[in-house]
Amino acid sequence: MSAKKGLHLTLKIWRQKNSKTKGQFETYKISDVSTDSSFLEMLDILNENLINDGKEPIAFDHDCREGICGMCSLYINGRAHGPDTGITTCQLHMRMFKDGETIVIEPWRSAAFPVIKDLMVDRSAFDRVMAAGGFISVNTSGNTLDANAIPVPKEDADKAMDAAACIGCGACVATCKNGSAMLFVGAKVSQYALLPQGRVEAKRRVLNMVKAMDEEGFGNCSNTGACEVECPKGISLENIARMNREYMSALVDQG
């Protein structure tokens, strides 16, 4: 029985020293890549080859490699997280590519996500948006209640959990032609707005988070729905509509 043939690929990878310098694509050849390996494992192999040749390895973000943390964000062949649906880059496998294929690999492209180096971008803007209002003041620490002490309709609970599935990878921003973060912010607003514990400061939260989003330089929603399509967790556009309703209600109450 013959051994399984590996892939021979051409990689066009964005190289950039830092956010202040001009970047460019550089071309690399890699051979005998197992179709069972993940995309990040392929990059690991490439970096090993570069190091062995005395060259600087490619910087890219990664952490859990289980589709949980969202750190591994890459723009691959014109798609956020690559040519598959409902996955992060670390869950993308090389069987999605063909032998001899050219793969173009870029960082997220957004003014709010400046390049740190090569394929790594600074997504701390998301952290600042969340810090602006993504919390609850209800004291739940050390004050555990029975699960049914505060009745929550199952439909609301399910929608809140769906919104909370957002991992903050930024695929929505990278995919949107305007670099909008409304799907991300909508998810973070919704996960609290749908639950009674989050209603205490709901109006202040949505006002502060939308303000922070705008200050960070994210664009406006383009209404194309590309963000929902490329989101690895399938966050629904309904969350943007909910955020808009929460925001308008808060503005009216604010006077």
Question: Which of the four CATH numbers 3.30.720.210, 3.90.850.10, 1.10.1060.10, 3.40.50.300 does domain 122-138+149-251 have?
Answer: 1.10.1060.10
**Residue range(s) of every CATH 1.10.1060.10 domain in the chain:** 122-138+149-251
Are the CB atoms for 60 and 114 separated by under 8 Å?
A: no
Q: Does residue 248 carry a pLDDT above 60? A: yes
Give me the CATH code for the 5-114 domain, please. 3.10.20.30
**Residue range(s) of every CATH 3.10.20.30 domain in the chain:** 5-114
pLDDT tens readout for residues 147-181: 667 888 999 999 999 999 999 999 999 999 999 99
Q: Which residue has the tokens 């005395």?
A: 54
Q: Tell me, what's the pLDDT at 156? A: 95
Q: Does residue 102 carry a pLDDT above 70? A: yes
pLDDT tens readout for residues 119-152: 999 999 999 999 998 777 777 666 666 666 788 8
Helix axes 182-193, 238-254, angle to 10 degrees: 70
C-alpha neighbours within 13 Å on the C-beta side of residue 106? 18
Q: Does residue 18 carry a pLDDT above 80? A: yes
pLDDT band at residue 1 under the 50/70/90 scheme: very low
The pair of three-digit structure tokens given for residue 200, joined into one six-digit string: 């205490």
Please state the rounded mean pLDDT for residues 31-51: 97
% of the chain residues with pLDDT over 70: 95
Q: What is the pTM of this model?
A: 0.92
pLDDT tens readout for residues 45-92: 999 999 999 999 999 999 999 999 999 999 999 999 999 999 999 999
CA separation for the pair 28, 13 (Å, rounded) = 8
